[in-house]
Amino acid sequence: MNKIKGLIFPTFIILGLIVMPRVALTMVPVDMVSMIYAMDLVDLDLILNALMIFGIILAILSALKNLTEKWTTTNLASGITSAIIWFILSLFLWGAGDLWSFGEISRTLNVMKNVTASFVLNLRFFVLLQAGVSLLGILNIILTYAKARDRRRAQPEAYSHGAEPSEGLESGLRQS
Partner 1 sequence: MPIDRTRALTVILVASELTSLVIFLTVAYGSLNTLAATLQGERPIDIDMDRDPMTGDSRINLGINVQNRGFYRIYVGIHAKLLTNFGQQISEGIDSRYVEPGDEGELTLVLTLSREDALNLSNTRYVIQFDFRTFFDFVSIGIELEGSP
Interface residues with partner 1 (CB under 8 A) are: 111-112, 114-123, 125-126, 129-130, 132-133, 136-137, 139-140, 143-144, 147
Which of residues 52 and 149 has its CB atom nearest to partner 1 in the complex? Answer: 149
Which of residues 22 and 147 has its CB atom nearest to partner 1 in the complex? Answer: 147
DSSP bridge pairs for 112: 115
Tell me the closest approach of the beta carbon of residue 134 to partner 1, in angstroms.
10
Which of residues 57 and 123 has its CB atom nearest to partner 1 in the complex? Answer: 123
| DSSP state, residue 18 | I
**Contact at 8 Å (CB) between 127 and 91?**
yes
Tell me the closest approach of the beta carbon of residue 174 to partner 1, in angstroms.
17
Tell me the closest approach of the beta carbon of residue 165 to partner 1, in angstroms.
13
In degrees, to the nearest 5, what angle opens at C-alpha 26 toward C-alphas 22 and 30? 135
103: left (phi over 0), alpha (psi -120 to 50) or beta: left
